[in-house]
Amino acid sequence: MNSSNEQTLGQLPLAERLASVSAGISAAVADAGRATDAVTTIVVTKFHPASLIEELYALGVRDVGENRHQEASAKASELASLTDLSWHFVGQLQSKKARQARQYASVVHSVDRPALVSALDAAGGDFPPLPCFVQVNLTDDEGRGGVQPDGLEALVERVLDAESLELWGVMAVAPLGEEPRAAFARLRGYSERVIALEPRATRISAGMSHDYTEAILEGATHLRIGTAITGNRPSAG
């Protein structure tokens, strides 16, 4: 999608942007020769008010994504009456917030270090097992989110040992300045390494507003799409 398309898209009402992105996803899934139900779309609603999530819910959206604990927690309690809405946590999570995150998160996409695995597991209590993705860093910059590929197996083993966590697969963000398809092809290779350890951990969380087509072509099962659906985010403040 080029930037002029996007600006046009940004001025449409929410329902039209959602329909337009859904059509784009369906076309990409068909191009990839994949089953129509092979892909789940998570609408990333960070920085937007809870009222936007209510609008999305009325349009049929049941999976939303947030990347900051305080904000996610506040919105989830405000919208607690929407009991079939799933909250996907996609951002950096401090270990000391793990217990609180388990109160609302249906899925955590950003498990990136052993300490977070331990904290999430210790907070398991009476909760059903928490689905998790291990986030892989596709850049050489250690400061970016995600485990470096050479630490993937060790982290995966930790998640598999955690009784209250259920490993769903791998997650990544395509690096800036690299063709996204090449980055997602690497991610697919990491997914295969994870499947070798746990054959049920087949899911791949990848693809955002600008690169979901490439992600679908490389096997993404969970798309995390923000601005293409929500319009521009209000500033972080």
Tell me which residue has tokens 């609302």. Answer: 104
- The helix or strand, by DSSP H or E, that contains position 89, with its residue range, turns out to be strand 86-89
Query: If binding is defined by CB under 6 A, does position 79 make contact with ligand PLP?
Result: no
Binding to ligand PLP by CB under 6 A, coded x per residue (else -) over 108-147, reads ----------------------------------------
Closest contact distance (angstroms) between CB of 100 and ligand PLP is 19
Amino acid (one-letter) located at 230: T
Please identify, using beta-carbon distances, which residue of 72 and 152 lies nearer to ligand PLP.
Answer: 72
Applying CB under 6 A, the span of 154-162, 178-186, 194-202, 222-230 interacting with ligand PLP comes to 222-230
User: Among 9, 17, 21, 46, which residue sits at the site for ligand PLP (rule: CB under 6 A)?
Assistant: 46
Please identify, using beta-carbon distances, which residue of 46 and 158 lies nearer to ligand PLP.
Answer: 46
Query: If binding is defined by CB under 6 A, does position 158 make contact with ligand PLP?
Result: no
Residue nearest ligand PLP by beta-carbon distance = 226
Q: State how far the Cα of 212 lies from the Cα of 225, in Å rounded to an integer.
A: 8
Q: State how far the Cα of 198 lies from the Cα of 168, in Å rounded to an integer.
A: 9
Query: What would the two tokens of residue 208 be?
Result: 């955002």
With helix as H, strand as E and coil as C, how does 123-181 read? CCCCCCCEEEEEEECCCCCCCCCCECHHHHHHHHHHHHHCCCEEEEEEECCCCCCCCHH
Please identify, using beta-carbon distances, which residue of 91 and 219 lies nearer to ligand PLP.
Answer: 91
Q: State how far the Cα of 34 lies from the Cα of 31, in Å rounded to an integer.
A: 8
User: Among 29, 90, 111, 215, which residue sits at the site for ligand PLP (rule: CB under 6 A)?
Assistant: 90
Nearest to 174 by CA among 129, 130, 204, 197: 204
Query: If binding is defined by CB under 6 A, does position 226 make contact with ligand PLP?
Result: yes
Query: If binding is defined by CB under 6 A, does position 100 make contact with ligand PLP?
Result: no
Query: If binding is defined by CB under 6 A, does position 67 make contact with ligand PLP?
Result: yes
- The helix or strand, by DSSP H or E, that contains position 224, with its residue range, turns out to be strand 222-225
Applying CB under 6 A, the span of 28-36, 92-100, 189-197, 224-232 interacting with ligand PLP comes to 224-232
Please identify, using beta-carbon distances, which residue of 108 and 173 lies nearer to ligand PLP.
Answer: 173
Task: Please list, in sequence order, all residues whose beta carbon lies within 8 angstroms of the beta carbon of residue 146, skipping any fewer than 6 positions away.
Answer: 110, 112, 135, 136, 137, 138, 171, 172, 173
Where does this chain bind ligand PLP (CB under 6 A)? 44, 46, 67, 90-91, 173, 208-209, 224-228
